[in-house]
Amino acid sequence: MPRAVEFDNAKVLESAMDLFWKKGYHATSMQDLTEATGLNRSSLYNTFGCKMQLYRTALTQYQKQNGSVFQKALIKAGNPREAIELIFEGFLRDIANDKEKKGCFNMNCKAEMSSDPAIRDWLSIQEEQHISFFEGLISDAQERGLINERQGAREYAFYVFNTLQGLRMTGILIQDQKVLKAIVSATLRTLR
């Protein structure tokens, strides 16, 4: 009877996610994945399925990590407006710490893989969840008088979400925190 191969799924998934994040789906070969994870092809296939399934699992893992960042900001904040500010601060930290200038895995995925219907549908669901999250925060903040009502909560949710995405993309080329903080300040001023 063949011996079962033992490995840490979380570490393997983290290695695969990092590789897909750096190189993208198409530029990442199975050979790259075996080298990054330390597993042979059959172990990868048996555990995660095909390359596309591994990619989608990595995206899901990334989304969970991002979602926890949003939830932590919500828990830490004294009010919904402060939660939005903390999320922006977290993005600024991520950009400052992104020495490889990888950007946002979801944004990279949108740029590379949005022509794939299954990926596009998955990304649309994730985007709607983020927008709904911000819509709830903004609606609550508007009711408390912490964010103006010149726009509806949904419109501002799209605005905040798109600014965050743009900030991550801008942060690939511009690492100057003064410039990036000015973008955040302008965004937050619009909400006052």
Half-sphere exposure of residue 22: CA atoms within 13 angstroms, side-chain side: 14
**Residue 102 pLDDT more than 70?**
yes
The answer to whether the CB of 83 falls within 8 A of the CB of 74 is: yes
Domains and CATH numbers, the chain: 61-191 (1.10.357.10)
Cα–Cα distance, 72 to 20 (Å, whole number): 26
What is the pLDDT confidence band of residue 5, given thresholds at 50, 70 and 90?
low
148-161, pLDDT tens digit by residue? Answer: 999 999 999 999 99
SS3 96: helix
Query: Given this model, what pLDDT does residue 1 score?
Result: 45
Amino acid at residue number 148 = N
59-78, pLDDT tens digit by residue? Answer: 999 988 877 788 888 889 99
**Residue 112 pLDDT more than 90?**
yes
Mean local confidence (pLDDT), 42-46: 90
What are 118's two structure tokens?
């299954």
Q: What percent of the chain has pLDDT over 70?
A: 97
pTM, two decimal places: 0.87
